[in-house]
Structures are given as structure tokens and as C-alpha cells.
Structure 1
């Protein structure tokens, strides 16, 4: 779903990358038909892609704001991703003056790596790579400056975007040109990759924790009491009402920590003055917390949930 073009030479590095991401939702076989038609070049525009998706009953989510190339100091980084149901595979290129590394990652683990001193490297599907290489041969000159290379890459990105909806009309282009020999370039690349992969590992751990917390929030939210018996009045002092929780009911704070269990007490407040008696039933009716006998409104600063049994 991407096109990233990288030039690495002794005078500098130029990297261009499109910004498109396409999500396919629908029948697996129909998705594969649509993807094959797009990657083979049969579908040439976004409009054609949307029309064909509708014919195949596939829902598409198309965005053009993905950052596929970026700059880290004197190093440029380009990345393409392949997501499966079990993992995310990444292919990255790190480039600077006089050297580059190509790295393949599974999760945040480096699986393969290769390096070189100078090259033009193209990441993309078969069709986009063919178009890009064709236009490179068309526009390339034997003596070309870093500035001219950036202009060539810009033309190529524009040309490819007109030929396939897998590449966006929007793109990023970066250049760096530090004065480095090959040994210095390799050292800068090595330290940058180590730091960048560590950042990826940290991000993945944070994402994992966030997803686990979100999953827990969903599970806990399903236990929130929205209808039924809460407990019985134990004591009333002014506008404060002490309630003993009924079997199967517990009170939690906003972090889902248990504050009071069934048979224990919590304090509620009357929103309107009312004469309550010990043993009066407290309920939630139509998501409103109240005393059952006269519908006296009550409030509390805890979450009332069903116990997890």
C-alpha cells in the first residue's frame, strides 16, 4: 500500500514516501479480488477503486495522513508495514550520506538486515515499483545533485499516484547531506537503529498496556448496575444516607478498585429532604438511583456494579 524511494550517495540521502493507508472490510475472497485488481494496475484511480469495492460489497477506509518517512538527526527513515492477525511486520530503510541499512522487523525484533554504501532503493508493491523504476530511468541523469534528485522523486511520486490508487497524491520528501565517510555513516546508522527499535519496543509495550486497560474497561463497564436492587437504608444523618449493599452488588472507584463489597456499607446523599426509615429499599430504576418507596433521588461518588461471579 506504499511507495518509498530512497537515494543514498556520498553527498547525501533523499527519501520520498506517500501517505496513503487503505483498510478493507468484507468477505475475504472478495477482498483478495479487489486487492489483486488494484495491485496489478487494473484499477487506476481512487474513484474506480471505490466503484469496484461497492460492486464487491467491500467497505474501504482510505486515509492520506500516514507518516511513512521521517528524519532522525542526520538519518532518514522509511517504513512499510504488513499487518496480519497475529503480528505487524515492518520493513525499514535507514539512510544518510555514504551508507544505508535495510531492516526487517517482526514486532520489535530485528529478523533480517542488509547494508550498503550507495544505492537507489524502492519499497512498494510490484506494480508501483515497476512504474517508479521506469520513471527513474526516464528522468535520471549521470550527474545529479541532491536538490535535483528531490525534484525527480517529486515527479515520480506524482506520476505513480496518477496510475494507481494504492499511492496517495500527498507525499513527504526529506533530504540530509552531512559530511561523513562510510565508517562514520555506519556508526550513525547503527546507533540510530538501536535507539529507534528501543523506542518501538517501548511504544509496543505502552500500546499493549493501553489495549489491556481498554479491554478491562469494556469488561467492567458491562457490570455497571443500571437497573435493580442496590441495598437497604441502615442509617440517616442529615442528607447523608448509609446503605448496606445487597447480595451481588459492590461499589468501585473510577479505577475499578473495590471499595465496598456486598453486606458492607456506602454513604449516599439525598438530593431532596425526605423522611427515610431503616430498611427502606434503595434501587436503580431507569438508570436513576433512588429510594423505592417514594422515588427520593440519591447520589453517590462510587460506581455500583454487579459482583463478578
Structure 2
């Protein structure tokens, strides 16, 4: 659901891309039919798209705020992506003066990589690309400035967007024009792309770790004790009590790391002067207290069941 047009040559690189993103939810067979009609140009407007999706029982969400272009080093990067069940497929073009490379990724793993020196490159579905190609042949003037080329690309995307919902009517245009000859361009692209993919790998690793931590937090939050006995007093030092946890209780910190397991001691505080060794500690109505007289206790830990 994108259209990106890139020019790469001796003047530099100019790239224009739309900002459309479409989310689907519904029956796979009907979804395949909807996509077929989209990519064949049978559906030509957003209203027709919404109507046909409703007829097929497919829920759709259309937004025009996805940034598909980015400056990376002395290159412009354009990306189209497709999210699968387990991985995201990415197709990227990195362009600079006198050189470009096209990289295909599955997750953060490179599946293919090809290089070129100059030309016009189109990313998108076949129907949108064919519309754009026809318009480029009519309007292209290679002698013009990169700024002018960008304006022409925006005009082309606007016209294509009026004929297919797969392309939005909001665009970004980015230009880079460092002083590179073809060999310098490829060396710079190699370094830039390798570093950019490393950033993607790190991002995916961080995201995976974050999701794991979220799942741990959800799991542990469900184990927080809000009722029942948790241990007994084994030592008293003024207002400080050492409580031995019973065989069903563990103590966690705010990051859900275990501080004490069953049978181990944890520190609690009391304002009562009527605490005895062996007193049972309980949680009642989500309040931590002594079982015998409901004297309030406090602590800096989270008590959870195993």
C-alpha cells in the first residue's frame, strides 16, 4: 500500500513517497478478493474501497501518517513493508549521488541486495507503478533540478492516488546531493546500509525484550496476593520486623525480580508495640497486617504467590 518514486543520478538523489497505511481484519478468502480488486484497479476511490470492504465483511483502517522516507547518512532511504503473522517483510532503496542499493529484509535478515548507479526506481504494487510509469514518460525532463523533479513526482503521486486507494494523497519528498563518484557512492552505501540494519537488529532485540518483560509483568501482576497468610514474625528490632515467608509466597521488587523465596526472611515495619515472635502476617482486604489484631504493616516489596 505504497508508491515511492526515486531518481538517482549525477546530481544526487530525490525521492517522493506517499504516507498511506491500510490495516485489514476479516475472512482470508474475502480479504484476498478485496486485494485482487485493489491491485487490478477495479476499485478506484477510497469510497469505493470502503463500500466494497463492507460488502465483503472486511474491517479496514486507512491512515495517511506513515513516514516511508528517511535521511540516513548521505542517503535517502525509502521503505515499503508488509506485516506477516510472524515477521515483517521490508523492501528498501537507499539512494545518493551516483549510486543506489535495493535491499530486501525478512525481519532484520537480509534476503537480497542489489546495486545500481543511476535511474528511476519505483516501489509499489504493479497497478500503481504502471500508472506512475506512464506519467513519468510523459512528464520527465532529466535536465531539470532535483527540486523540480520532486515537484513532478508529487504531481504524479497525486494523480495516481486519485485512481487507486492503495496510494494516499499526502507525500514526503527528500533530497540528498553529496559529492560522490560511482565508486565512492557504493562504498558509502555499503557502510550506511550495514549500520542501518544493525540499528534495526538492535531495535528488534529491544522490542522483543520489552515484550518479554511486559508478559512477565502481566503474569506476575496476576500473582499478587490480595488475601491470605504470607508468613510469620521471626525477629523484632524496634519497629523493624523480619518475617519468614511461607511455602507459597515470594517477594519481588518493582521490576519483578525475586528478592526472597519461600522460607526466606523479608523486612517489614510496624507502629504496633504488641508484636510477638511467631505472630502470623496476613493480607486482608489488600492490607498487610498482623492476623491477631489487624495491626498495619508496611514493606517495600511485592508479595506474590508462586
Q: TM-score, normalised by structure 2?
A: 0.88
* Offset, 1:11: 1.6
- Aligned residues between the structures: 306
Q: Counterparts of 1:58 and 1:240 in 2: how far apart (Å)?
A: 62
Matching residue of 1:298: 297
Matching residue of 1:101: 101
CA pair 261-137 structure 1, distance change in 2 beyond 3 A: same
Matching residue of 1:249: 249
* Offset, 1:12: 1.8
CA pair 189-294 structure 1, distance change in 2 beyond 3 A: same
Q: Counterparts of 1:282 and 1:30 in 2: how far apart (Å)?
A: 59
Matching residue of 1:49: 49
Q: Counterparts of 1:10 and 1:108 in 2: how far apart (Å)?
A: 31
* Offset, 1:273: 4.3
Cα RMSD, aligned residues only: 2.5
CA pair 54-288 structure 1, distance change in 2 beyond 3 A: farther
Q: Secondary structure at the match of 2:175?
A: strand
Q: Counterparts of 2:41 and 2:289 in 1: how far apart (Å)?
A: 65
Q: Counterparts of 2:227 and 2:54 in 1: how far apart (Å)?
A: 43
CA pair 243-8 structure 1, distance change in 2 beyond 3 A: same
CA pair 258-180 structure 1, distance change in 2 beyond 3 A: closer
Q: Secondary structure at the match of 1:189?
A: helix
Q: Counterparts of 1:277 and 1:47 in 2: how far apart (Å)?
A: 75
CA pair 229-167 structure 1, distance change in 2 beyond 3 A: farther
Q: Secondary structure at the match of 1:250?
A: strand
Matching residue of 1:206: 206
Matching residue of 2:182: 182
Q: Secondary structure at the match of 1:207?
A: helix
* Offset, 1:142: 5.4
Matching residue of 1:24: 24
Task: Flag structure 1 segments of 5+ consecutive residues without an equivalent.
Answer: none
CA pair 262-191 structure 1, distance change in 2 beyond 3 A: closer
Q: Counterparts of 2:154 and 2:179 in 1: how far apart (Å)?
A: 24
Which digits, 9 at most, give the CA deviation of each residue in 1:223-244, with x for residues without a partner? 2223322123345554434322
Which digits, 9 at most, give the CA deviation of each residue in 1:255-306, with x for residues without a partner? 3222222222222233x64744444433223433233444433321111111
CA pair 247-22 structure 1, distance change in 2 beyond 3 A: same
Q: Counterparts of 1:279 and 1:55 in 2: how far apart (Å)?
A: 70
Matching residue of 1:4: 4
CA pair 160-227 structure 1, distance change in 2 beyond 3 A: farther
User: What does 1:156-195 correspond to in 2, within 5 Å?
Assistant: 156-195=156-195
Given that residues 122 and 129 in structure 1 are in contact (C-alpha distance below 8 angstroms), is that contact kept between their aligned partners in structure 2? yes
CA pair 5-262 structure 1, distance change in 2 beyond 3 A: same
Q: Secondary structure at the match of 1:33?
A: helix
Q: Secondary structure at the match of 2:204?
A: helix
Q: Secondary structure at the match of 1:178?
A: coil
CA pair 29-145 structure 1, distance change in 2 beyond 3 A: same
Q: Counterparts of 2:54 and 2:268 in 1: how far apart (Å)?
A: 55
CA pair 250-139 structure 1, distance change in 2 beyond 3 A: same
Task: Flag structure 2 segments of 5+ consecutive residues without an equivalent.
Answer: none
User: What does 1:250-289 correspond to in 2, within 5 Å?
Assistant: 250-270=250-270, 273=272, 275-289=274-288
Q: TM-score, normalised by structure 1?
A: 0.87
Q: Secondary structure at the match of 1:129?
A: helix
Which digits, 9 at most, give the CA deviation of each residue in 1:103-139, with x for residues without a partner? 2222333222222222111100122212222222232
CA pair 177-257 structure 1, distance change in 2 beyond 3 A: closer
Given that residues 243 and 267 in structure 1 are in contact (C-alpha distance below 8 angstroms), is that contact kept between their aligned partners in structure 2? yes
